[in-house]
Structure 1
């Protein structure tokens, strides 16, 4: 925890945009610029998003969910977004399945917590600063493989595939 705090202090000094006091302003300015350029119809809506930590915290649950699972089926506007929405629907269903099984297994270790924290923080920050679905679909590549690995960990289908494909 102390090393994470040191890293945060050092990073905040590297570039003015990473300054802890200025970061909410940068996030909201990026949000408004992306929304204006990409069209509000194809973006995550954040009503009354303000450049302060309280506003970002208030919008954090919606941002995390949207960053990880949207656009959902029904929010598509062309063929490519339909493919993304189907993928997101599958990931959402797998996540719900994984959560339902977690109650039975209660298996958690430090790498799972680290992957989950990385995934949620990245999804949250990307959704708040880059609300356009097209951009977000591309930026998800930074965390989605880790998240899918996490939700498929000990999944019966994944285990069956692993037995059949010996090289995995």
Structure 2
């Protein structure tokens, strides 16, 4: 956020990329909370992870999303607060419709969960396309790119390595396996 704290810096960043990351973190927050509720013995650990994901997406990423939206919005600051408020409510409405629609889509298309996850994890594609279309250089700090890539891929890699060394069901609690 500090790297693109100016209007021109924020305008280089793809709002779709940040929006996709916000949606992913919201889903992960809900997933952690649900897993903690379902398996009572691990509730504290999963509730803590859900809380941190909630803080990340609701405070930091939404603030960044708003900064990018404001930089790319065609509205001038002198056009009135009412128009800006209306546009902001449209942005929030779109966010929550996509969030709830994605949950319904994943439920209905649970047989195609792998392609949906691949689509969710292709969050860099909108930024690549935005950089090409706008012919911009250095829209994101390299630390942000590396940090987001490593942290987003850590969970799938961790799960795959665990399954490789400890077996395919190693991360499922024994109580759930006996049901």
Larger Rg belongs to = 2
Could you tell me the TM-score, scaled by structure 1's length? 0.29
RCO higher in structure (CA 8 A, sep ≥6)? 2
Greater share of residues in helix: 2
Could you tell me the TM-score, scaled by structure 2's length? 0.28
